[in-house]
Amino acid sequence: LATAAEVESRFAVETQSTSSEEMVPSSPSPPPPPRVYKPCFVCQDKSSGYHYGVSSCEGCKGFFRRSIQKNMVYTCHRDKNCQINKVTRNRCQYCRLQKCFEVGMSKEAVRNDRNKKKKEVKEEVVVPESYELSGELEELVNKVSKAHKETFPSLCQLGKYTTNSSADQRVQLDLGLWDKFSELSTKCIIKIVEFAKRLPGFTTLTIADQITLLKSACLDILMLRICTRYTPEQDTMTFSDGLTLNRTQMHNAGFGPLTDLVFAFAGQLLPLEMDDTETGLLSAICLICGDRQDLEEPQKVDRLQEPLLEALKIYTRRRRPNKPHMFPRMLMKVTDLRGISTKGAERAITLKTEIPGPMPPLIREMLENPEAFEDSSDSGESSTPTPPGRVSVRQMHLLKGLFEVLLKVWFQASGRECILLSVAAILLKWDRPTPRTALPPLSLNVRYVHYVRYF
């Protein structure tokens, strides 16, 4: 038996040894070994992980996903038992897909993955910008819309009626239809002038610029208005009194070769689904346009047009938040209208040879170039240019006619009032000296105008 001293000595040695071991720092643990996946269950290539339920390579994962998402149907050109490995996997898609199913790849896993991605994309969609009109633009839109509606009743407000006159066969000109058409066109021109008068800022322009803009854009607005009353089911157009004419009757009423062009334009307006406010704003943009020739203050006209463009853009996009392309498509129609107006001016010249009498004065003055309707024998003028400082008979006739038309509407208050217009003094002058061979631009200065109302 060991003595007590021996036991105590042995315990002290073990304790010292244990303490020494605890004092020695342990070496850092090695990093865990990389995770090793089983080879691809489909082609035995190196696996990139578990995809759709089984260990597979990137190639087989993508092949299976595309096949399921696109509902692909493959054909085997052998016995439907082709060997699939990393060398032959691209030779037979049918057998490769069957192998995917055999090893346990899941269709549902593909669908769930697709739905998850759709959800992520949906969450990233940016909310479209909201278009709100400022107080000033809102007021402008309301005024233009009101001016349009009060001078141009919509199709649903009209009591439509038809006529059987030359409804089936095109002729050069049906005089009865022409008389009716010219009467309605004259009334429409008066309404267009009234519309212009109500546009904010238009009356702040010089009289000469107002006349220039009206003369330049009147046919544009006339065509736009009639085309908004197009009924595609019957292929007809309706005038402001309700008269409804088919394509043949429009041709015979005086449109002639212009007919198909006008109807084509009317058809192009249908997809735009313009309401009365948009039609009014587009009409105002056609009218107030600073690129018209012979304007005295084109910059001022441009400044008046800018808020109209902004108002139409915001109103259109607010009405169709998912169709931002509608605004530029509407603006393109302004160019189309000018092309139709050019053709219309050419048609008006040929009409002179077809109608028995003179062109109605308002149509003549507002829509066309009066010189195109006058023979030199009518005016008694020679071809010698009018010297600076004097006004030719034709120029005076044009200005007088336009000015009287404008004033007639400008001072018309209501149907209960008879209005007597008396132009007291009109001064015509040249803006600047020009060569005798050139026709200098005119500016019209009104000294004063008296009008007396009788109740």
Give the mean pLDDT per block of 10 residues along the chain (455 residues).
55 50 54 69 88 88 89 86 86 90 85 60 48 87 95 80 76 85 88 94 94 91 93 89 89 89 94 94 95 92 94 92 90 91 86 83 64 37 42 45 47 38 33 34 31 24
Residue 108 lies in a domain: yes
| Spatial CB neighbours of 366, under 8 Å, sequence gap ≥ 6 | 189, 214, 215, 218, 402, 405
pLDDT at 52: 87
Cα dihedral value 371, 376, 382, 384, nearest 10: 30
15/91 Cα distance (integer angstroms): 73
For the residues of 292-339, what is the DSSP string, one character each?
Answer: STT-S-HHHHHHHHHHHHHHHHHHHHHH-TT-TTHHHHHHHHHHHHHH
On the CB side of 271, CA atoms within 13 Å amount to 10
Q: Which domain holds residue 429?
A: 395-455
Residue type, 155: L
Residue 124 lies in a domain: no
Asked if 237 and 227 touch (Cβ cutoff 8 Å), the reply is yes
Q: Mean pLDDT, the chain, as a whole number?
A: 75
pLDDT at 87: 82
pLDDT at 181: 86
Residues 98 and 169 in one domain: no
Token readout for 404 is 């009287």
Residue type, 158: L
pLDDT at 242: 85
pTM for this model (two decimals): 0.55
Asked if 64 and 53 touch (Cβ cutoff 8 Å), the reply is no
What's the total number of domains in the chain?
Answer: 3
Residues 111 and 241 in one domain: no
Calculate the CA 188 to chain-centre distance: 26
Residues 273 and 357 in one domain: yes
Residue 2 lies in a domain: no
Name the residue among 219, 212, 220 with its Cα closest to residue 348. Answer: 219
Asked if 251 and 261 touch (Cβ cutoff 8 Å), the reply is no
Residues 269 and 323 in one domain: yes
| Spatial CB neighbours of 350, under 8 Å, sequence gap ≥ 6 | 256
Token readout for 159 is 């009591």
Residue 379 lies in a domain: no
Name the residue among 407, 258, 240, 409 with its Cα closest to residue 347. Answer: 258
140/311 Cα distance (integer angstroms): 8
pLDDT at 147: 95
- Residue 369: strand, helix, or coil: coil
Q: Which residues pair with 231 in a beta bridge?
A: 236
Query: At residue 185, what are phi and psi to the nearest 5 degrees?
Result: -65, -40
Token readout for 238 is 């309706």
Token readout for 269 is 């307006």
Residue 400 lies in a domain: yes
On the CB side of 309, CA atoms within 13 Å amount to 15
Residues 359 and 407 in one domain: no
pLDDT at 432: 33
Residues 157 and 89 in one domain: no
Residues 63 and 157 in one domain: no
Residue 381 lies in a domain: no
| Spatial CB neighbours of 22, under 8 Å, sequence gap ≥ 6 | none
Token readout for 107 is 């269709």
For residue 22, count CB atoms less than 10 angstroms from its CB and return exposed for 0-12, middle for 13-18, buried for 19 or more.
exposed
| Spatial CB neighbours of 445, under 8 Å, sequence gap ≥ 6 | 426, 427, 428, 429
The CATH number covering residue 264 comes to 1.10.565.10
- Using CA of residue 378, residue 381, residue 383, residue 385, what is the dihedral sign? negative
pLDDT at 315: 94
The CATH number covering residue 61 comes to 3.30.50.10
Asked if 223 and 148 touch (Cβ cutoff 8 Å), the reply is no
Residue 435 lies in a domain: yes
Q: Which residue has the tokens 């199913």?
A: 101
* Among 323, 342, 373, residue at a domain's last position: 373
- Residue 49: strand, helix, or coil: strand
pLDDT at 36: 63
304/68 Cα distance (integer angstroms): 60
Token readout for 6 is 């021996």
Asked if 239 and 226 touch (Cβ cutoff 8 Å), the reply is yes
Residues 144 and 244 in one domain: yes
Token readout for 260 is 């198909």
* Among 373, 403, 425, residue at a domain's last position: 373
401/406 Cα distance (integer angstroms): 9
Residues 415 and 352 in one domain: no
Residues 65 and 195 in one domain: no
Residues 292 and 423 in one domain: no
Residues 339 and 281 in one domain: yes
215/198 Cα distance (integer angstroms): 17
